[in-house]
A and B are shown apart, each in its own frame.
Chain A
Amino acid sequence: MNKGIILEIPSQVEYLSLVRAVVASAARVDQSLGDQRIDDLRLAVSEATTNAIRAHANLGSSERITIRFGLEGDRIEVEVQDRGSGFDPEKLDPAGPLTDKGRLEYEGGFGIPLMKILADEKTIESADEGTTVNLTVYVSPPSETI
């Protein structure tokens, strides 16, 4: 993938709005991507970056977080890489529907499901030395690509 833009940000929540602004502006370079899809990508990337910042905070790490953005033919790919302690994506406990008894007691549990829904493709590679989230949004839906 030709990752045209590379951002390295301090692991601080104050930089989230900058990441979103860059992703949205870069995505608009491809004028065929509608505003709704840009909003979807913006939110998915923000969630991935938020998780990366949390991972560094859990370690007390001041290392930077890397976001790579690429426009590649029929798709936009974004990679968010942290240097946290990693986790097992298969062992994430789904929070369940909000209508479940007791679910309102818990404010979390939206981030990773949102990434999964909003991106056309999502992969999480996680190991002891960090996590890399890849998000892909197709300019046209995957079923329409050749």
Chain B
Amino acid sequence: MMLTLSNSNTGIWTVIHVAGEVDMATGPQLRQEIVRQVSEGNIHLVIDLRKVDFIDSTGLGILVGGVKRAKSNGGDFRCSGLSSSLEEVFALTGLDSVLAVVDLDQDPSSWTKSNE
């Protein structure tokens, strides 16, 4: 299964659109893209998961790493478009306590406030 990544910009936010399955095989691609964006100064990141069929513990760890990277550089890290299964996994692992979920259809100004 391939992982496809693309980006878009909305105000201060860079949205990384993810499609496919995130696991031990494909996860390094996503980690590399997050690291690249932060290193280029794009520290306000949203991970769009609407087209993600599956995330395993590797993927969850990459999101945790994203929160740390963005925050330690003065930015914010959000995700969006969780399936019901992924919502369950976020709740079970406690990821929902450190990673806010935003609605990409809403005004981006509301995204900043989501985790405050």
A47 CA to B57 CA, complexed, in Å? 7
- Encode contact with B along A88-129: 1 for CB under 8 Å, 0 otherwise: 000000000111000011111111011001100000000000
Task: Give, as a whole number of angstroms, the nearest-CB distance from A103 to chain B.
Answer: 8
Inter-chain contact A99/B92, CB cutoff 8 Å? no
Decide if the interface of chain B is mainly helix, strand, loop or mixed: helix
Residues of chain B touching chain A, judged by Cβ–Cβ distance below 8 Å, are: 1, 21, 23-25, 54, 56-58, 60-62, 64-65, 67-68, 71, 84-85, 88-89, 92-95, 97-98
Decide if the interface of chain A is mainly helix, strand, loop or mixed: helix
Total A-B residue pairs with C-beta atoms closer than 8 Å?
Answer: 75
Inter-chain contact A16/B94, CB cutoff 8 Å? no
**A98: which B residues are within 8 A, CB to CB?**
64, 93-95, 97-98
Extra 7 A-B pairs, beta carbons < 8 Å, given A13-B23, A20-B21, A46-B54: A17-B1, A42-B54, A43-B89, A47-B56, A104-B65, A104-B98, A106-B64
**B67: which A residues are within 8 A, CB to CB?**
104
**B64: which A residues are within 8 A, CB to CB?**
98, 104, 106-107
- Encode contact with B along A45-88: 1 for CB under 8 Å, 0 otherwise: 01100100110000000000000000000000000000000000
A110 CA to B65 CA, complexed, in Å? 13
Inter-chain contact A39/B85, CB cutoff 8 Å? yes
Inter-chain contact B54/A99, CB cutoff 8 Å? no
